[in-house]
């Protein structure tokens, strides 16, 4: 599913270079990338999602070499293949739960939304909401929800496009153990059911027993200081 | 575009307070300058139109503006009256059509203008409903008067005991409404017209009462053959066909007052003759309303000039504020922009969203401004009234 | 002056709306101007001068004295549409005092000899049969019985018509010349016929002969009698008294008196003849015919009537 070789990346104004010689994750695997804060977990997820483009190296996701794609193609790739669960959830305050889950629809201009497509999408949103137990809140705004409920909205949003790869960035970090378990169960459940791949980034090393593989980032990647430019 | 619209509308709806503030700002940005232009242009157009349609006004010597404002816009005047005999003189000079007018009273706040039938033909005013006045005690109403007071032909309206034209007041006279004039979109819509003699009677210059001679109990005393009526003599407050013969004027009507005479000369030569004839008169003056109004408009334009500056500064500041709000919005939504980008949205999505939102606000503001301008247009006469006063 | 497009737009719109609601203001008489005259003598002049090019308004009932006409609203509306209103003047056109008529369209046919009007006392208010009470107080108004005055009225009528119908000026002038000649001739005839009354006081049935008397040097003492009403006891007493007082045994009537009246007059030894003021249309003939009839009566002292 994910094949990374000789990846080198640095931020434009950054002082360090993130180097990952090799990482390979198979289809349907449920993995966790751990490491201390600031070690590049989010950067790695962004690279895998095609949000960041490496200076060199290969990132192949679902058969596509991301650095070779155009900006537009990478966006389309995210829309179609990736489900993102953000650290801060990042729900849109001005949309209600239903619209937040389906916000991807408003971002995707390439798809033709006929009546049938809209109906299916609607059904899908309602199913997800029912499964995550937030079907009662569909008309509410995020500000009216508890943290756990918001988390589930964010989860539904990441799953609504039936992604083949789910990237979760500290998705469960701020949850109490009970909610964390629930959320992870949902994610695992989805992956087991659909054969989707899950990559979660977490600085917390507890409760990792359910993951197929755990990558300790400091062990597989390096952060090197950038040489002074001549 | 549909998606952008959806998100923009959702955003505007959620941030109502911000939306309202922006709407108000944009509306004032559009409406205020247009309203100033509209009002000054309407004032100019309607003042000049009316002034131009009345070539000459003859009245008592004094402020020419007072005379014009009184004659054309029914404003109270400080000028003395002119005698009715002047009308005969002008008639006999045969240099055009003199139209007398006398503003002495109001009825339910609207000016009661006594005049002659020529007023209606010269002003091209036709009766839309009912009939033209035929005699004493009758009136026709301007369309706005009829509309605002809910009067129709056959109804009656009573003159006010006190009014801005004559603070002393007089005995109220009941007027019968015979007709409603067609709307003229001018001051005539806001006046009540009667026969000049009815206006005099309303002013208390002529009256009707029961026959004194031979009636028991009505004669107070007899002085040198004149009967003096006591308080039981009924003053008519209504003129009917039955009693209109009894209405009479004390003294010769030749000396009776006119506020002035509108003069419609038959040629430009006649106009020049009339203007020069009264130009050097010690008691009278003949003015060309368009020239007087032009002087007034000069003042108006100076005011507009100043207003333009004030507006210019205000608008610049407002525009700056709007731009600031928009830039701030884009900045505040940076995190959202990033989220949407990470989900596959375009990097410029928020900028485009803000643009669409501004566009929507612009359209709504434009419509509101248009509506307000429409309302301004509807109330233009009230606004003009205020301006003139 | 700067002008703004939408002000123009609004103005245009409102004027369009106005125009759509407006009616045609042109005359509804097929182009002929409408002319009103206050009584028959003036009507006759107008008709003789311009009968073919104007539409005459004659709102008076048969036998009605136009001096006491009280127009209905509908009459006034018709007069408001008139292009010219020829008045008698001398306080004759009383209805004008309470009617909404444009004075600019009126012509007072006697305004040039106002200073020679005869003032009468106001005491004599009376009613004619069932008619309204009225008086002849103020100014005597039967101007036209003095034909020199009638001639001056004709002059005014002529001028007014020339102003109204400038294209017919020549025709009007010619007709007026003919009319003036006729009136002048008649005036001379009346003067001649009146000479025989130099020392003969006359009684008048009604106070309408003031100018007639002044013009033709007649001494006429008027009562308040109507030809179609048989005089009361008191009237007869007054008549007898006046006959005795002025030594008058000849009486002028406005119209032929009733047969009963005639026989009583005969019994009293009072002769009579008719000088008709002609204020309304005669049953037959025209105003000139009426004047000629008056002239014959005056000449013949009533004999042969």
| Residue A98 tokens, joined | 């239903």
pLDDT of residue C13: 43
Q: How confident is the model at residue C96 (pLDDT cuts 50, 70, 90)?
A: confident
Q: Is residue C13 part of a domain?
A: yes
Q: Within this chain, do residues B139 and B8 fall inside the same structural domain, yes or no?
A: no
Judged by CB atoms closer than 8 Å, whether chains meet at B134 and C76 is answered as yes
Q: Within this chain, do residues B137 and B13 fall inside the same structural domain, yes or no?
A: no
Q: pLDDT (tens digit, 9 = 90+) per residue, B283-292?
A: 899 999 988 8
pLDDT of residue C160: 93
DSSP secondary structure letter of residue A228? P
Q: Is residue B145 part of a domain?
A: yes
pLDDT of residue C154: 94
Question: Nearest CB to C7: which of B42, B88, B126?
Answer: B42
List of chain B residues whose C-beta atoms are within 8 Å of the C-beta of residue C2: 41
Q: Within this chain, do residues C157 and C285 fall inside the same structural domain, yes or no?
A: no
pLDDT of residue C23: 34
Strand C250-253 with C271-274, pairing = parallel
Of these ranges, B64-73, B225-234, C182-191, the one predicted with the greatest mean pLDDT is C182-191
Judged by CB atoms closer than 8 Å, whether chains meet at B10 and A99 is answered as yes
- Smallest CA-to-CA distance from C145 within C298, C299, C291 is with C291
Q: What is the mean pLDDT of residues C170-180?
A: 94
pLDDT at B6 over 70: yes
Q: d(Cα A27, Cα A166) in Å, to the nearest integer?
A: 11
Q: How many helices (H) and strands (E) does chain B have?
A: 12, 16
pLDDT of residue C84: 93
List of chain C residues whose C-beta atoms are within 8 Å of the C-beta of residue B114: none
Q: Within this chain, do residues C171 and C260 fall inside the same structural domain, yes or no?
A: no
DSSP secondary structure letter of residue B234? P
Q: Within this chain, do residues C43 and C106 fall inside the same structural domain, yes or no?
A: yes
* Residue B256, φ and ψ in degrees, nearest 5: -70, 155
List of chain B residues whose C-beta atoms are within 8 Å of the C-beta of residue C76: 134-135
Q: Is residue C191 part of a domain?
A: no
Pick from C151, C183, C215: which residue ends a domain? C183
Q: Is residue C188 part of a domain?
A: no
Q: Within this chain, do residues B101 and B180 fall inside the same structural domain, yes or no?
A: yes
More confident residue, C52 or B241: C52
Q: Within this chain, do residues B64 and B204 fall inside the same structural domain, yes or no?
A: yes
Q: pLDDT (tens digit, 9 = 90+) per residue, B238-257?
A: 777 677 766 767 667 788 89
Question: pTM above the 0.80 mark?
Answer: no
CA distances from B136 to A156, B105, B129, B247, B285 (A): 86, 15, 19, 9, 30
| Percent of the residues in chain A that have a pLDDT greater than 70, as a whole number | 97
Q: Within this chain, do residues B203 and B343 fall inside the same structural domain, yes or no?
A: no
Rounded to the nearest angstrom, the minimum Cα separation between C103 and chain B is 8
Count structural domains, chain B. Answer: 2
Q: How confident is the model at residue C211 (pLDDT cuts 50, 70, 90)?
A: very high
- Smallest CA-to-CA distance from A142 within A83, A92, A86 is with A92
Q: d(Cα B304, Cα C97) in Å, to the nearest integer?
A: 50
Of these ranges, B83-87, B199-203, B302-306, the one predicted with the greatest mean pLDDT is B83-87
| Percent of the residues in chain B that have a pLDDT greater than 90, as a whole number | 32
Distance from the Cα of residue B56 to its chain's centroid: 20
pLDDT of residue B105: 87
Q: Within this chain, do residues C142 and C218 fall inside the same structural domain, yes or no?
A: no
Lowest average pLDDT, out of A159-163, B110-114, B117-121, C64-68, goes to C64-68
List of chain B residues whose C-beta atoms are within 8 Å of the C-beta of residue C98: 135-136, 197, 244-245, 247
Token pair 């083949």 is found at: A164
* Residue A32, φ and ψ in degrees, nearest 5: -135, 135
* Residue C246, φ and ψ in degrees, nearest 5: -100, -5
CA quadruple A59, A63, A67, A68: dihedral sign: positive
Query: Which contacts qualify for B347-351: CB closer than 8 Å, 24 or more apart?
Result: B347/A71, B349/A107
Q: Within this chain, do residues C124 and C78 fall inside the same structural domain, yes or no?
A: yes
Q: What is the mean pLDDT of residues A208-228?
A: 83
Q: pLDDT (tens digit, 9 = 90+) per residue, B348-371?
A: 888 888 999 999 999 999 999 999
Q: Please give the mean pLDDT across all residues of chain C.
A: 82
Q: How confident is the model at residue C174 (pLDDT cuts 50, 70, 90)?
A: very high
pLDDT at C126 over 70: no
pLDDT of residue B77: 83
pLDDT at B192 over 90: yes
Q: Is residue B226 part of a domain?
A: no
Q: d(Cα C270, Cα C226) in Å, to the nearest integer?
A: 16
pLDDT of residue B9: 93
Q: Is residue B104 part of a domain?
A: yes
Chains touching B by CB (3 or more pairs below 8 Å): A, C
Q: d(Cα C20, Cα C216) in Å, to the nearest integer?
A: 62
Q: How confident is the model at residue B210 (pLDDT cuts 50, 70, 90)?
A: very low
* Residue B217, φ and ψ in degrees, nearest 5: 80, 0
> Is some CB atom of chain A closer than 8 A to the CB atom of B16?
no
Query: Which contacts qualify for B156-160: CB closer than 8 Å, 24 or more apart?
Result: B156/B238, B157/B107, B157/B108, B157/B192, B158/B107, B158/B108, B158/B237, B159/B105, B159/B106, B159/B107, B159/B112, B159/B202, B160/B105, B160/B106, B160/B107, B160/B108, B160/B109
Q: What is the mean pLDDT of residues A13-27?
A: 88
Strand B174-181 with B156-158, pairing = antiparallel
Q: Within this chain, do residues B103 and B171 fall inside the same structural domain, yes or no?
A: yes
Question: Nearest CB to A108: which of B336, B342, B344?
Answer: B344
pLDDT at B12 over 90: yes
| Residue C107 tokens, joined | 């012509």
Q: d(Cα C65, Cα C69) in Å, to the nearest integer?
A: 7
> Is some CB atom of chain A closer than 8 A to the CB atom of B340?
yes
Question: Nearest CB to B342: which of A51, A76, A106?
Answer: A51
For the CA atoms of B270, B275, B281, B285, the dihedral, rounded to the nearest 10 degrees, stands at 130
Pick from C120, C153, C183: which residue ends a domain? C183
> Is some CB atom of chain A closer than 8 A to the CB atom of B11?
yes
Q: Is residue C97 part of a domain?
A: yes
Q: Within this chain, do residues C160 and C226 fall inside the same structural domain, yes or no?
A: no
Q: Within this chain, do residues C119 and C21 fall inside the same structural domain, yes or no?
A: yes
Question: Nearest CB to A86: which of B4, B11, B339?
Answer: B339
pLDDT of residue A140: 94
Rounded to the nearest angstrom, the minimum Cα separation between C272 and chain B is 36
Q: Within this chain, do residues B265 and B337 fall inside the same structural domain, yes or no?
A: no
pLDDT of residue B181: 94
Q: Is residue C190 part of a domain?
A: no
Secondary structure class of A214 (helix, strand, coil): strand
Chain C residues 85-104 within an 8 A CB cutoff of chain B? 94, 97-104
pLDDT of residue C304: 44
pLDDT at C40 over 50: yes
Burial class (CB in 10 A: 0-12, 13-18, 19+), C272: buried
Q: Within this chain, do residues B178 and B320 fall inside the same structural domain, yes or no?
A: no
Distance from the Cα of residue A60 to its chain's centroid: 16
Chains touching C by CB (3 or more pairs below 8 Å): B
pLDDT of residue B388: 64
pLDDT of residue B381: 73
> Is some CB atom of chain B closer than 8 A to the CB atom of C21?
yes
pLDDT at C128 over 70: no
Expressed as residue numbers, the domain containing B203 is 56-209+235-287
Q: Is residue B222 part of a domain?
A: no
Q: d(Cα C251, Cα C96) in Å, to the nearest integer?
A: 34
Judged by CB atoms closer than 8 Å, whether chains meet at C99 and B197 is answered as no
Judged by CB atoms closer than 8 Å, whether chains meet at B41 and C102 is answered as no
Q: What is the mean pLDDT of residues C104-109?
A: 89
Q: pLDDT (tens digit, 9 = 90+) per residue, B294-332?
A: 888 888 778 878 888 888 898 899 899 889 988 998 898
Q: Within this chain, do residues C139 and C69 fall inside the same structural domain, yes or no?
A: yes
pLDDT at C18 over 70: no
Q: Within this chain, do residues B307 and B184 fall inside the same structural domain, yes or no?
A: no
Count structural domains, chain C. Answer: 2
Q: Within this chain, do residues C76 and C148 fall inside the same structural domain, yes or no?
A: yes
Secondary structure class of B96 (helix, strand, coil): strand
Expressed as residue numbers, the domain containing C228 is 196-300
Q: Within this chain, do residues B75 and B165 fall inside the same structural domain, yes or no?
A: yes
More confident residue, A165 or B172: A165
pLDDT of residue C20: 39
CATH number, domain of C35, equals 3.40.50.1980
Q: What is the mean pLDDT of residues C81-86?
A: 92
Q: What is the mean pLDDT of residues A50-54?
A: 89
Q: Which residues in B have their CB inside 8 Å of a CB on C?
A: 34, 37-38, 41-42, 44-45, 87-88, 91, 94, 97-98, 116-118, 121, 124, 126, 128, 131-136, 138, 182-185, 195, 197, 241, 244-245, 247, 373, 377
Q: Within this chain, do residues C177 and C212 fall inside the same structural domain, yes or no?
A: no
pLDDT of residue B99: 93
pLDDT of residue A209: 78
Judged by CB atoms closer than 8 Å, whether chains meet at A107 and B344 is answered as yes
Q: Within this chain, do residues B130 and B257 fall inside the same structural domain, yes or no?
A: yes
Burial class (CB in 10 A: 0-12, 13-18, 19+), C134: middle
List of chain B residues whose C-beta atoms are within 8 Å of the C-beta of residue A108: 344
Are C and A close enough to touch, i.e. 3+ CB pairs under 8 angstroms?
no
Q: Within this chain, do residues C13 and C133 fall inside the same structural domain, yes or no?
A: yes
Q: Is residue B275 part of a domain?
A: yes
List of chain A residues whose C-beta atoms are within 8 Å of the C-beta of residue B339: 86, 90, 92
List of chain B residues whose C-beta atoms are within 8 Å of the C-beta of residue A94: 10-11, 13-15
> Is some CB atom of chain A closer than 8 A to the CB atom of B91?
no
Pick from C183, C207, C223: which residue ends a domain? C183
List of chain B residues whose C-beta atoms are within 8 Å of the C-beta of residue A105: 3
Q: d(Cα A168, Cα A83) in Å, to the nearest integer?
A: 8
At residue B110's C-alpha, the angle toward residues B109 and B116, to 5°, is 145
Q: Within this chain, do residues B60 and B128 fall inside the same structural domain, yes or no?
A: yes
pLDDT at A165 over 80: yes
Rounded to the nearest angstrom, the minimum Cα separation between C77 and chain B is 7
Task: Write a three-state SS string for chain C.
Answer: CCCCHHHHHHHHHHHHHHHHHCCCCCCCCCCCCEEEECCHHHHHHHHHHHCCCCEEECCCCCCCCHHHCCCCHHHHHHHHCCCEEEECCCCCCHHHHHECCCHHHEEECCHHHHHHCCEECCCCCEECCCCCEECCCEECCCHHHCHHHHHHHHHHHHHHHHHHCHHHHHHHHHHHHHHHHHHHHHHHHHHHHHHHHCCCEEEECCCCCHHHHHHCCCEEEECCCCCCCCCCHHHHHHHHHHHHHHCCCEEEECCCCCHHHHHHHHHHCCEEEECCCCCCCCCCCCHHHHHHHHHHHHHHCCCCC
pLDDT at C127 over 60: no
Q: Within this chain, do residues C119 and C179 fall inside the same structural domain, yes or no?
A: yes
């Amino acid at each position: 599913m994910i094949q990374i070789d000789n990846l080198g990346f640095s931020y434009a104004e950054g002082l360090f270079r993130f180097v990952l010689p090799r990482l390979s994750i198979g289809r349907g695997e449920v993995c966790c990338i751990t490491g201390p804060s600031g070690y590049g977990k989010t950067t790695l997820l962004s690279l895998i999602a095609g949000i960041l483009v490496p200076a060199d190296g290969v990132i192949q996701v679902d058969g596509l070499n991301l650095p070779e794609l155009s900006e537009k193609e990478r966006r389309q790739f995210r829309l179609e293949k990736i489900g993102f669960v953000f650290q801060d959830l990042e729900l849109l305050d001005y949309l209600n739960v239903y619209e937040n889950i389906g916000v991807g629809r408003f971002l995707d201009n390439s798809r033709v939304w006929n009546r049938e497509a809209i109906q299916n999408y609607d059904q899908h949103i309602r199913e997800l909401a029912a499964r995550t137990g937030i079907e009662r809140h569909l008309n509410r705004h995020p500000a009216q929800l508890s943290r756990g409920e918001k988390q589930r909205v964010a989860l539904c949003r990441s799953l609504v496009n039936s992604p083949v790869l789910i990237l979760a960035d500290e998705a469960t970090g701020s949850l109490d153990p009970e909610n964390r378990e629930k959320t992870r169960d949902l994610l695992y459940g989805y992956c087991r059911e659909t054969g989707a791949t899950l990559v979660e980034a977490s600085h917390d090393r507890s409760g990792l027993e359910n993951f197929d593989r755990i990558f300790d980032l400091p062990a597989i990647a390096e952060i090197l200081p950038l040489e002074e430019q001549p | 575009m549909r998606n952008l619209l959806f998100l923009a509308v959702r955003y505007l709806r959620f941030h109502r307070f911000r939306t309202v503030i922006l709407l108000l700002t944009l509306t004032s940005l559009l409406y205020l300058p247009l309203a100033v232009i509209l009002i000054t242009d309407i004032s100019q157009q309607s003042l000049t139109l009316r002034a131009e349609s009345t070539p000459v006004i003859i009245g008592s010597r004094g402020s020419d503006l007072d005379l014009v404002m009184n004659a054309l816009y029914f404003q109270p005047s400080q000028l003395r009256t002119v005698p009715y005999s002047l009308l005969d003189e002008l008639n006999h000079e045969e240099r055009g059509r003199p139209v007398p007018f006398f503003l002495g009273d109001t009825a339910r706040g609207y000016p009661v203008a006594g005049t002659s039938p020529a007023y209606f033909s010269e002003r091209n005013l036709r009766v839309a409903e009912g009939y033209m006045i035929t005699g004493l005690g009758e009136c026709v109403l301007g369309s706005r008067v009829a509309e605002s007071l809910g009067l129709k032909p056959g109804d009656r309206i009573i003159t006010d005991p006190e009014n801005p034209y004559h603070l002393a007041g007089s005995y109220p006279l009941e007027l019968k409404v015979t007709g409603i004039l067609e709307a003229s979109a001018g001051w005539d819509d806001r006046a009540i017209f009667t026969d000049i003699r009815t206006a005099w009677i309303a002013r208390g210059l002529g009256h009707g009462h029961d026959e004194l001679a031979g009636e028991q109990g009505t004669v107070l005393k007899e002085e040198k053959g004149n009967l003096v009526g006591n308080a039981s003599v009924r003053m008519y407050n209504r003129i009917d066909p039955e009693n209109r013969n009894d209405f009479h004027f004390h003294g010769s009507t030749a000396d009776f007052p006119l506020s002035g005479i509108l003069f419609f000369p038959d040629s430009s030569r006649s106009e020049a003759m009339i203007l020069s004839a009264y130009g050097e008169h010690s008691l009278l003056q003949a003015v060309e309303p368009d020239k007087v109004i032009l002087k007034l408009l000069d003042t108006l334009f100076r005011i507009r000039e100043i207003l333009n500056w004030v507006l210019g500064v205000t608008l610049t500041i407002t525009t700056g504020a709007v731009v600031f709000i928009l830039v701030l919005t884009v900045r505040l939504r940076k995190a959202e922009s990033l989220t949407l980008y990470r989900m596959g949205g375009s990097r410029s999505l928020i900028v485009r969203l803000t643009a669409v939102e501004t566009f929507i606000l612009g359209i709504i503001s434009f419509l509101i401004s248009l509506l307000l301008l429409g309302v301004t247009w509807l109330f233009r006469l009230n606004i003009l009234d205020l301006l003139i006063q | 002056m700067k002008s703004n497009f939408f002000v123009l737009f609004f103005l245009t719109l409102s004027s369009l709306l106005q125009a759509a609601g407006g009616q045609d203001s042109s005359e509804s008489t097929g182009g002929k101007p409408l002319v009103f005259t206050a009584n028959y003598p003036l009507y006759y002049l107008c008709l003789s001068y311009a009968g073919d090019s104007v539409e005459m308004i004659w709102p008076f009932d048969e036998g009605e004295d136009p001096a006491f006409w009280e127009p209905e609203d509908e009459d006034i509306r018709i007069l408001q549409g008139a292009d010219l209103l020829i008045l008698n003047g001398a306080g004759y056109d009383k209805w004008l005092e309470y009617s909404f008529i444009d004075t600019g369209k009126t012509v007072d046919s006697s305004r040039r000899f106002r200073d020679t009007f005869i003032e009468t006392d106001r005491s004599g208010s009376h009613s004619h049969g069932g008619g309204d009470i009225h008086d002849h107080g103020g100014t005597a108004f039967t101007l036209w019985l003095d034909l020199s005055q009638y001639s001056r009225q004709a002059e005014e009528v002529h001028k007014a018509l020339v102003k109204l119908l400038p294209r017919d000026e020549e025709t009007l002038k010619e007709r007026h010349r003919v009319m003036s000649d006729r009136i002048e001739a008649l005036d001379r005839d009346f003067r001649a016929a009146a000479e025989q009354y130099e020392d003969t006081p006359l009684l008048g049935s009604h106070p309408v002969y003031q100018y007639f008397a002044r013009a033709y040097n007649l001494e006429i003492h008027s009562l308040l009698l109507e030809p179609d009403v048989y005089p009361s006891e008191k009237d007869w007493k007054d008549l007898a008294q006046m006959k005795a007082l002025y030594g008058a045994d000849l009486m002028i009537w406005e119209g032929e008196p009733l047969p009963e009246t005639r026989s009583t007059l005969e019994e009293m030894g009072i002769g009579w003849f008719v000088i008709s003021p002609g204020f309304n249309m005669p049953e037959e003939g025209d105003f000139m015919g009426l004047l000629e009839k008056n002239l014959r009566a005056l000449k013949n002292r009533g004999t042969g009537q």
